[in-house]
Chains A and B, each alone.
Chain A
Amino acid sequence: MIRMMRHALHAGRGALCLRSFSETRGEVIEDVLQRTDSARLTNEASLYVHWPYCLRRCSYCNFNKYIPRENNDHMMTECLQRETETLLQLSQVSCITSVFFGGGTPSLAHPSTIAAVLETVSRQANLSDTAEVTLEVNPTPVGRSKLEDFFHAGVNRFSIGVQSLQDEDLKVLGRDHSPQQALLTVAEARRLCPGRVSVDVMFGRPKQSVESWENELSELLRVCDDHVSLYQLTLERGTQLFKQVLEGEVTLPTEEETAEMYLCARKTLHQHGLLQYEVSNFARQNAVSHHNRSYWKGTQYIGVGPGAHGRFVPVGEGGVLREARTQTLEPDIWMREVQQKGHATRRRIQLSHLELLEEVLVMGMRMTEGIDHKHWELFSPQLGLHEVFGTSSDVQELLQRGQLILDERGLRCSWEGLALLDSLLPALLVELERRVSLRLQEDEHAKGQTNRTSNTR
Chain B
Amino acid sequence: MAIVPVINKIDLKNADPERVESQIEKVFDIPCEECIRISAKLGINIEEVLRAVVERIPPPAASIDEPFKALVFDSTFDHYRGVVANIALFGGRVKKGDKIVSAYLGKTYEVNELGLLRPAEHPTQKLFAGQVGYIIAGMKDVKEAQIGDTLYLQEHPVETLPGFKPAKAMVFAGMYPMDQSEYPALRSAIERLTLNDSSVTVQRDSSMALGAGWRLGFLGLLHMEVFNQRLEQEYNASVIVTAPTVPYKAVLSSPKLIKEHGSEEITVVNPSLFPDRAVVSEYLEPMVLGTILTPDSYTGKIMTLALNRRGIQQNMVYIDDQRVMMKYLFPLNEIVVDFYDLLKSMSSGYASFDYENAGYQAADLIKMNILLNGEPVEELITIVHRERAYNMGKAMCERLKDSIPRQMFEVAIQAAIGSKVIARETIKAFRKNVLAKCYGGDITRKMKLLKRQAEGKKRMRRIGNVEVPKDAFINVLKRKEK
Contacts and interface: CB of A to CB of B under 8 A. Distances in A.
Asked if A and B bind, the verdict is yes
Interface of A: 48, 64, 102, 230-232, 234, 255-256, 258-260, 262-263, 279-280, 292, 295, 303, 307-309, 324, 326, 358-359, 362-363, 366, 397, 401, 403, 418-427, 429-430, 433
A258 B433 CA distance: 11
A423 B453 CA distance: 9
A292 B407 contact: no
Given A324-B444, A359-B447, A362-B446, A420 B434 contact: yes
A292 B439 CA distance: 8
B434 A259 contact: no
Contact of A430 (B432, B433, B458): B458
B457 interface: yes
A234 B437 contact: yes
Contact of A231 (B436, B443, B454, B465): B436
11 contacts: A102-B439, A231-B436, A231-B437, A234-B435, A234-B436, A263-B432, A279-B435, A292-B439, A359-B447, A420-B408, A420-B432
A362 B436 contact: no
Nearest to B431: A259
> Which of A234, A358, A362, A366 has the largest count of B CB atoms less than 10 A from its CB?
A362
Nearest to A258: B432
Given A358-B451, A362-B450, A429-B454, A423 B437 contact: no
A157 B277 CA distance: 76
A48 to B, nearest CB: 7
Contacts of A362: 443, 446-447, 450
B162 interface: no
A188 to B, nearest CB: 25
B28 interface: no
B430 interface: yes
Contacts of A260: 431
Nearest to A417: B408
B450 A422 contact: yes
A251 B433 CA distance: 20
What 8 A-B pairs have minimum CB-CB distances, sorted nearest first? A259-B431, A259-B432, A429-B454, A309-B440, A421-B434, A232-B436, A426-B453, A426-B454
A418 B435 CA distance: 11
A41 to B, nearest CB: 17
A308 B443 CA distance: 12
Contact of A422 (B433, B437, B451): B433
B interface residue count range (under 10 / 10 to 19 / 20 to 34 / 35 or more): 20 to 34
B436 A279 contact: yes
B465 to A, nearest CB: 8
A190 to B, nearest CB: 24
A256 B440 CA distance: 29
B432 A427 contact: no
Nearest to A394: B457
Interface string B178-220: 0000000000000000000000000000000000000000000
Nearest to A296: B438
Interface string B396-432: 0000000000011000000000000000000000111
A363 B431 contact: no
B434 A422 contact: yes
Nearest to A430: B454
A429 B451 contact: yes
B58 interface: no
B439 A326 contact: no
A423 B408 contact: yes
B431 A309 contact: no
Contacts of B435: 234, 279, 422
A366 B438 contact: yes
Contact of A423 (B430, B436, B447, B451): B430
B59 interface: no
Nearest to B441: A309
Given A362-B450, A363-B443, A419 B436 contact: no
Given A295-B439, A309-B440, A363-B438, A423 B457 contact: no
Given A231-B436, A419-B433, A423-B430, A326 B441 contact: yes
Contact of A418 (B434, B437, B444): B434
B438 A279 contact: yes
A303 B440 contact: yes
Given A403-B408, A420-B433, A433 B454 contact: yes
Nearest to B452: A426
B462 to A, nearest CB: 9
Contacts of B437: 231, 234, 280
Contacts of B440: 48, 102, 303, 308-309
Nearest to A418: B434
A412 to B, nearest CB: 14
Contacts of B430: 259, 420, 423
A64 B441 CA distance: 10
A191 to B, nearest CB: 28
